[in-house]
């Protein structure tokens, strides 16, 4: 397998370690309405657009027999918490090196995120190295149809780069994101949670369809050596 025509990167949990912060914001918000989210529920929110997450949380609140807030009411609680937490997010280990390797290899890049343009600006402000990824698909992109897990975000990113999605490598950490990239036809690398050697339960169903990696540096070495993915 030849090197990718482009590399398409998720942001949250893949380039920046924001997922624990997002989870904390959702947990604190839903507790205001009487619901404690389980670990499985928090994992199910990863990789999805804010409004999609809010609708899912509202369903869980309803299933618990609790008074259901409107989406604006829920987000009015959640968003200030998230905005306070997210600027403190640190880079995922190896993220800078992977982006730099793509630059050195002249491999086109795009960011494919469920976060809104404003949210990305907030999170990336302390990380100027992310500006190397100039092509973006945001969760509130006016040309985006459905969000992850639909294939639309990755198809739109490939189109903006002028390449076929089937020739791209996608990098994800969530079930919804991996499903989105797979549906678009990308070769998908899934970053396992820190310290894990095997896919956790939510990702197990995708283990045969995706390349599970423990560290981003595994792919960086492949790109730097310009060898096939089968080499690792």
Show which residues are catalytic.
Answer: 10, 12
**How far, in Å, CA of 208 to CA of 92, rounded?**
24
- Of the candidates 154, 150, 137, 123, the one whose C-alpha atom is nearest the C-alpha of residue 19 is 123
Q: Give the largest Cα separation in the chain, rounded.
A: 57
CA 216 to chain CA centroid, nearest Å = 14
Q: Mark 37-65 as b/e (b = at least 16 C-beta within 10 Å).
A: beeebbbbbbbbbbebbbeebbebbeeee
CB-based contacts of 74, cutoff 8 Å, min separation 6: 29, 30, 33, 54, 57, 58
Using CB atoms within 10 A of its CB, is residue 172 exposed (0-12), middle (13-18) or buried (19+)?
buried
* Cα 164 to Cα 180: distance, rounded to the nearest angstrom: 15
Closest CA to 229 of 157, 164, 183, 167: 167
């Amino acid at each position: 397998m030849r090197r990718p025509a482009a590399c398409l990167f998720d942001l949250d949990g893949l380039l920046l370690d924001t997922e624990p912060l997002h989870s904390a914001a959702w947990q604190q918000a839903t507790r205001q309405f009487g619901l404690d989210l389980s670990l499985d529920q928090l994992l199910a929110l990863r990789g999805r657009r804010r409004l999609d997450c809010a609708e899912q949380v509202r369903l869980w609140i309803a299933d618990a027999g609790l008074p259901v807030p409107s989406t604006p009411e829920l987000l009015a609680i959640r968003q200030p918490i998230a905005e306070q937490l997210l600027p403190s997010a640190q880079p995922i280990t190896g993220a800078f090196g992977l982006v730099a390797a793509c630059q050195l290899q002249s491999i086109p890049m795009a960011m494919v995120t469920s976060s809104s343009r404003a949210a990305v600006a907030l999170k990336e402000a302390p990380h100027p190295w992310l500006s190397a990824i100039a092509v973006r698909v945001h969760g509130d992109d006016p040309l985006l149809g459905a969000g992850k897990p639909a294939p639309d975000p990755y198809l739109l990113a490939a189109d903006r780069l002028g390449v076929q999605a089937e020739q791209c490598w996608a990098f994800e950490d969530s079930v919804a994101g991996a499903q989105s990239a797979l549906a678009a036809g990308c070769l998908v690398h899934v970053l396992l949670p820190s310290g894990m050697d095997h896919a956790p339960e939510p990702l197990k169903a995708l283990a045969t369809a995706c390349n599970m990696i423990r560290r981003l540096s595994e792919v960086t070495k492949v790109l730097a050596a310009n060898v096939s993915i089968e080499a690792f």
